[in-house]
Amino acid sequence: MGSRSLTNLCAVVFFALGVLAISLRHQSRQAVHVAETDSLWKVTYRYQLESGGDANIASYVDIGLPRETPFAKFANEPKITFPIELKAEELGPFESGTQVLRVTATHPGKYPLTAVFDMALSPEVEGWSPAMTKESLSASDEARYTKDEDLLPKSSPAVQREVRRLPRGDGTTDSQRLELLFEFCRTDLREAENDPLADQVPNVLADKKATPLGRARTFVSLCRAAGMPARLVVGFNLQQDRSASPHVWSEVYSGNRWIPFDPEYGYSRRMPSTFFPVRHGREEGEVWVVPPSSAMQGVMAQYTIERMAAPESLLTREVRHPRQILDLTRLPLEMHQAMSLILLLPFGAVITAIFRNIVGLKTFGTFAPALLAMSFIYANWSTGIAILGVVLTAGFASRRFLERLRLLMVPRLSIVLTIIILCIMFVVSVLDYSGLTPSPQAVLLPMVILTTLTERYYVTSEEDGHAFAMKLSFGTLIVAAMCYAVLSWRAVGNWILAYPEAHFITIAVFMVIGRYTGYRLSELIRFRDFVKGQEA
């Protein structure tokens, strides 16, 4: 195998190792992040289906499957268990996104049915809204969500009377009318507990009292009577305790979005992250048990919500294990900045290699531009520029004076270094006297790096002349500016500290650059006259 083929193979291997290691690390960190920030909840449906054995009547139960939201996700696959005498088939998802599991009894008897859904709740963002995504409403859907129904009687005289009270005219928007209807259902209706009559819209408007279901139905009926498509939504609140009950709210289609409203709890245009929907509206042919429907005879339903314990991996994180050595983020916080900068140096070397081997720009060594950029990162701009000015001024001035003494190179450079140090110390004293005392690391590291680069400059000027030294200085400054743009990016430093194995990919990049034999960009400019002559 030739050296080029071997290099390409090694580059591919290192790249694959980097990708694999980052992927494994990400999965591990994501699992820890979920364990630390998310709470796990178990939602359980328990049904008892009783079939009388009448051949002309199908005994079945429809289970509304929970829908994920941006902040409530399935932690595991749903677990649905039932006897072999029951048959299950999936219905949907319907156009609204609702999905149903229909379980039918094939023989007479009483049958238990259990559905368990493990949900992970993320509290990172407060509130969610299914109206975040725009969607078009077809003519058939608009007709469905504005039609007159038995339980949503928009043509009822009481409903029409309330709608006529809304202000009309060019100055009134649909959003204003919608807000007035919402405030009416939220504040003008009194609470009614366990009163079936307070579920019915005409009774609600006549007595001015309603159950949570009655409020939602009244709001949807009023919106439909006002010409705005609206529908009911049934779901659960993950902050409930045992013996939970489904909660009903509503959605209104406005501005190409379904906007949630909850007249019971007062949520408007945005639902909390703890709520997740089970069904939207009523699709053709659906018979629902959530909430229980009088049409479903012989069905008993019970719902529970429990908070699950934190995973064992989170509770045992403090136990010492050799694998913790691979986690650099466990180091003390005061070390993070220094470790991040050290890990960023190879990225600076990549930038330098690209400019030297592909662009053709020469610099003082490989790490000099990255070290120069690091000196400005540790010091703020004012301190860095002040130190740079002192180094250059003291260095050039002392060198011009020492040239007359005809000293050897090493003693001469040592004198220059001593003068630079003395000048920097007095500059620091001046800054402290002015109330601008810099930190020790903002002075020490930049001074060492800049002094070293000054020495490199003088050595190069002695050996190759001032013109070549100036050319290297110009290239070093350009590449250092590019390195500074990367090294000063805090997000990159935090990322490489969390994923140090990314430097496997950096090694692969170095291998690819190391085998580059094409023209440098500067050579294309340098030999452009020669190329034009050959073409002629």
pLDDT number for residue 292: 42
Tens of pLDDT, residues 431-452: 777 776 666 655 666 666 766 7
Reported pTM = 0.58
Nearest residue to 461 via CA among 420, 409, 418: 409
Distance CA 270, CA 129 (A): 5
pLDDT number for residue 315: 57
**Residue 283, pLDDT above cutoff 50:** no
Contact 486, 351 (CB under 8 A): yes
**Residue 224, pLDDT above cutoff 80:** yes
**Residue 291, pLDDT above cutoff 50:** no
pLDDT band at residue 20, thresholds of 50, 70 and 90?
very high
Distance CA 441, CA 363 (A): 25
Distance CA 114, CA 103 (A): 11
Distance CA 20, CA 336 (A): 24
51-55, 158-162, 241-245, 514-518: which is most confident: 158-162
Give the 3-state secondary structure of residue 381: helix
Stretch 10-21: mean pLDDT: 90
Distance CA 347, CA 513 (A): 13
Beta bridge partners of 73: 120
pLDDT band at residue 53, thresholds of 50, 70 and 90?
low
Tens of pLDDT, residues 329-360: 777 777 787 788 788 888 888 888 888 888 88
Burial tier of 70 (Cβ tally within 10 Å: 0-12, 13-18, 19+): middle
pLDDT band at residue 70, thresholds of 50, 70 and 90?
confident
Tens of pLDDT, residues 389-434: 777 677 777 767 777 777 787 787 788 778 877 877 787 787 777 7
Stretch 284-312: mean pLDDT: 59
Distance CA 282, CA 11 (A): 58
pLDDT band at residue 286, thresholds of 50, 70 and 90?
very low
pLDDT number for residue 56: 45
If one compares 68 and 439, the residue with the highest pLDDT of the two is 68
**Residue 379, pLDDT above cutoff 50:** yes
DSSP string, 384-434: HHHHHHHHHHHHHHHHHHHGGGT--HHHHHHHHHHHHHHHHHHHHHHHHHT
- For the chain, which residues make up each domain, given as ranges? 130-289, 327-498
If one compares 440 and 485, the residue with the highest pLDDT of the two is 485
If one compares 71 and 131, the residue with the highest pLDDT of the two is 71
Structure tokens at 399: 């060198």
pLDDT number for residue 78: 84
Structure tokens at 11: 């580059």
Beta bridge partners of 80: 115
pLDDT band at residue 284, thresholds of 50, 70 and 90?
very low
Stretch 311-322: mean pLDDT: 63
Tens of pLDDT, residues 72-126: 788 778 888 888 878 888 877 777 778 888 888 777 778 888 888 888 887 655 4
Instruction: Calculate the CA 249 to chain-centre distance.
Output: 28
Could you say which DSSP state residue 456 is in? H
For all residues of the chain together, what is the average pLDDT? 77
Give the alpha-carbon dihedral of 172, 175, 181, 186, to 10 degrees. -140
Measured CA to CA in angstroms, residue 448 lies from 296, 299, 379, 396, 409 at distances of 83, 81, 13, 17, 19
Could you say which DSSP state residue 311 is in? P
Nearest residue to 102 via CA among 66, 45, 46, 59: 59
Distance CA 185, CA 162 (A): 11
Backbone angles phi, psi at 104, to 5 degrees: -115, 140
If one compares 201 and 53, the residue with the highest pLDDT of the two is 201
**Residue 314, pLDDT above cutoff 60:** no
Q: Domain 130-289: which CATH class?
A: alpha beta
Amino acid at 282: R
Tens of pLDDT, residues 171-205: 778 788 888 888 888 888 888 777 777 888 888 88
